[in-house]
Amino acid sequence: MKRTLNVSRVFLGLACAVSAFSIDQLSKFAIVEIVMQPPRNIYITSFFNITLSYNKGISFGIFSSYFENSSTILSFATSLVVGFLFVWMLYAKTRVQTMAIGLIVGGAVGNIFDRMRQGAVTDFIDLHLGSWHWPTFNGADIAIVVGAALVVFTSPRSPPDDSTR
């Protein structure tokens, strides 16, 4: 089956990508330049703080020490993934899938932009339960997770193969 490019869906996906990128970058700017002047921890609720940090690793700080001086390599690898996702977005089957991939692309580009500009990703959302803290994250990470969840939950399910019984 040949897939065709749906121009209106492409614009929808691009709009989601640009929105995710813009919201991410504006929120990071506001936190770094306005809210965190002077730098401090801001306690919002018993489970949510604003805590400024800079992530040099992959998602949630994984492999931070390995990528500490290699932000260009990590940015290049992420850019390859973004390129694949962009092509997938061009030929997505549904509007929801197009929007979801657009969110992932926009979030990933937001984090790439941070890495290229400052060598690390700006994180500031700190969720915790008692003394257990989820790794600090940002708006780009939210867009990526929401987009990925939408892709997974809206993907067509194929019936189980009877030959495995």
Choice among 24, 114, 126, 141 that is catalytic: 141
Is residue 20 within 8 A of residue 103, CB to CB? The reply is yes
Instruction: Report the run of H or E that residue 129 belongs to, with start and end.
Output: strand 121-129
- What spatial distance separates the first Cα and last Cα of the chain, rounded to whole Å? 29
Determine whether 123 is an active site residue. Answer: yes
156-160-165 Cα angle (round to 5)? 170
Q: Is residue 160 classed as helix, strand or coil in its secondary structure?
A: coil
Q: Is residue 41 classed as helix, strand or coil in its secondary structure?
A: coil
Choice among 24, 123, 126, 161 that is catalytic: 123
Question: 51-89 burial, b if ≥16 CB within 10 A, otherwise e?
Answer: bbebbbbbeebeeeeebeeebeebbeebeeebeebbebb
Is residue 137 within 8 A of residue 125, CB to CB? The reply is yes
Give catalytic residues, as residue numbers: 123, 141
